[in-house]
Amino acid sequence: MSNSRVVSAVKGADFSETTAWKDFLALIKIGIVNSNFITTFTGLWLAMYFTNANFLGSLDIMLLTLIGSSLIVAGSCSINNYIDRDIDHLMERTKNRPTVTGRVQPSRVLVLGLVLIAAGQIMLFMTTFTAGLIGLIGVVSYVGLYTMWSKRRYVSNTIVGSVSGAVPPLIGWAAIDPGLGMIPLALFLIMFVWQLPHFYAIAMRRVEEYRAAGIPMLPVVKGFAVTKKHMLFWIIALLPLPFLLTELGVIFLVLATILNLGWLALSLSGYRMKDDHKWATLMFVYSLNYLTILFVGMVLITFI
């Protein structure tokens, strides 16, 4: 082949074509897996810190917990993709999923999900029974109560789905201290409440897609004005929760309060902004930074 033909062939090649690895990451929703990894690690780390557990002596528990929890999240997301393949083509953000385009057979996605969950659960039960049980509750609440039961039926689906998203720090803590206590409960409550304004912001940004798919998200059923009030309510509900973690010290309480007040101010600004979609995007971005800063901050503070 001449040099000119080689150049033409390279220019004409589609290097953006999705690879098997990218398909896999899409199926397991790697973004969700990563965010849950952070919150699981925080629960795990704080349990080690407050129980004076030996770091090197707990490395096996740490690996089993972090890998196991990531696997059950990945498996649950895969099954979610399998179940929602009939409506995902109606939404812009999900229309290119492998289950929609046909790049991966649905049966393989289901098997993948079940295998990942089974492997993850075995690992969690190898730490403590409590960690394994909480992991199982998370799987059942996400796949059963959210995806299969409430998502397409009730406007409260976001509240139901927030239960599964709040269990990772509980899993992390329970792997070290199955007795649990106030600190892991506070982490659970923070995660639960945080998800409501976070996912309502997503729903506002994608309201027409959810409407086309027939998913009764709050903005679809009640409109933007009501959704803003709900978001404000849940952000206000976040304000006292850091004070359940007084053991982390004044620096943490100041950091958490600043983050909460900043989010509250942004939420109130939604009543003045004319562009609801722009405001929802700002709320979404803030929520991501909020979660990262808050949970990473909890870990860093233990070194002070």
Query: Do both 175 and 186 map to the same domain?
Result: no
Query: Do both 128 and 171 map to the same domain?
Result: yes
* Structural domain for 237, as ranges: 181-304
SS3 102: coil
Query: Do both 132 and 276 map to the same domain?
Result: no
Angle at 156 between CA 150 and CA 162, to 5 degrees: 85
Contact at 8 Å (CB) between 207 and 185?
no
What CATH number does residue 83 fall under? 1.10.357.140
Query: Do both 256 and 213 map to the same domain?
Result: yes
192 lies in some domain: yes
Query: Do both 53 and 113 map to the same domain?
Result: yes
233, 234, 240, 242 alpha-carbon torsion, rounded to 10°: -160
pLDDT at 18: 56
**Nearest C-alpha neighbor of 256 from the set 296, 283, 228, 285:** 296
What's the domain count of the chain? 2
Query: Per residue of the chain (304 residues), what is the pLDDT tens digit?
Result: 443 433 333 333 343 445 888 888 888 899 999 999 999 999 999 999 999 998 888 999 999 999 999 999 999 999 999 999 988 888 877 888 888 888 888 899 999 999 999 999 999 999 999 999 999 999 999 999 999 999 999 999 999 999 999 999 999 999 999 989 999 999 999 999 999 999 999 999 999 999 999 999 999 999 999 999 999 999 999 999 999 999 999 999 999 999 999 999 999 999 999 899 999 999 999 999 999 999 999 999 999 8
Last residue of a domain, one of 180, 208, 223: 180
Query: Do both 63 and 208 map to the same domain?
Result: no
Query: Do both 262 and 216 map to the same domain?
Result: yes
pLDDT tens-digit series, residues 57-107: 899 999 999 999 999 999 999 999 999 998 888 887 788 888 888 888 889
All residues at 6 or more sequence positions from 269 whose CB lies less than 8 Å from its CB, including other chains: 279
Query: Do both 170 and 53 map to the same domain?
Result: yes
User: What global pTM score does this model have?
Assistant: 0.90
49 lies in some domain: yes
285 lies in some domain: yes
DSSP codes, 114-180: HHHHHHHHHHHHTT-HHHHHHHHHHHIIIIIIIIIIITTT-TTHHHHHHHHHHSHHHHHHHHH-TT-
